[in-house]
Amino acid sequence: MEQQLEERLAKAPVVPLVGGSDPAIAVETAIALHAGGLGIIEVVLRTDEAVDCMEAIAKQTSGLIVGAGTVLTVGQAEEVIARGAQFVVSPGLVDEVAEYCLERSVPLFAGTMTAGEVQRAYALGLRTVKFFPASLAGGVPMLKALSSVFRHMKFMPTGGVTASNLGDFLAVPSVVACGGSWLTPAAEIDAGNFEPITNLAREAVNIASAARPKG
């Protein structure tokens, strides 16, 4: 899975966050994002029905890699993996969650924002971490500072990433992808408008191509 995920991220290094509590709407949202060129979806565990939404996307769509975000505990990691999560994202770094995912070779993007947290992630064996909340944790200058000392680490900035700063984050060579909820505005989804979601995904893909021109 790790290799598949890396290949997909290399093509479109953007991970949209999908929330909500209605599995059918979550599936429609995922399909709209895929139509815009994004093949990886993170369903955030912020409602009681979020795992149902993630499972529905995993079962009812094809060609997408689906993971779970806002995973706080080993119990949640266990549940989401059992129900189809192909990767796990946490807002912070908890050793037990990291060890659980590493033992099962499930890619984990654990949140870090300080040198100490990145170093702990490195010591645990993680080589890619989430940088969260990216804009408040120092943005691009902080990422560059962390990257200069942790030369084997890769980062997924998330938190405050939008179309206006996506290109700046992706221009940092250690950035493997950016995550964010700007691609799934609740107002459009609640109104049943999925075309704007596809357009936002397409815009992100274009920004990514410009930020990382193919060699």
Site for ligand 3PG, rule CB under 6 A: 17, 44, 69-70, 132, 158-161, 179-182
Residue number, 60 or 79, with CB nearest to ligand 3PG? 79
Q: For residues 197 and 36, is the Cβ–Cβ distance under 8 A?
A: yes
Gap between the Cα atoms of 45 and 63, Å rounded? 22
Q: Does residue 130 have an active-site annotation?
A: yes
Residue number, 27 or 204, with CB nearest to ligand 3PG? 204
Helix, strand, coil tally for the chain in percent (to 5): 45, 15, 35
Task: Give least dist CB 164 to ligand 3PG, A.
Answer: 12
Gap between the Cα atoms of 79 and 121, Å rounded? 23
Instruction: Please give the distance of CA 197 from its chain centroid, rounded to a whole number.
Output: 17
Task: Give least dist CB 62 to ligand 3PG, A.
Answer: 26
Gap between the Cα atoms of 168 and 132, Å rounded? 16
Q: Does residue 6 have an active-site annotation?
A: no
SS3 at position 30: helix
Residue number, 39 or 180, with CB nearest to ligand 3PG? 180
Task: Give least dist CB 46 to ligand 3PG, A.
Answer: 8
Gap between the Cα atoms of 201 and 196, Å rounded? 9
Q: Whose CA is closest to 1, among 134, 108, 112?
A: 108
Task: Give least dist CB 132 to ligand 3PG, A.
Answer: 6
Which residue among the candidates 28, 42, 55, 117 is catalytic per the annotation? 42
Residue number, 73 or 123, with CB nearest to ligand 3PG? 73
Gap between the Cα atoms of 25 and 18, Å rounded? 10
Catalytic residues: 42, 130
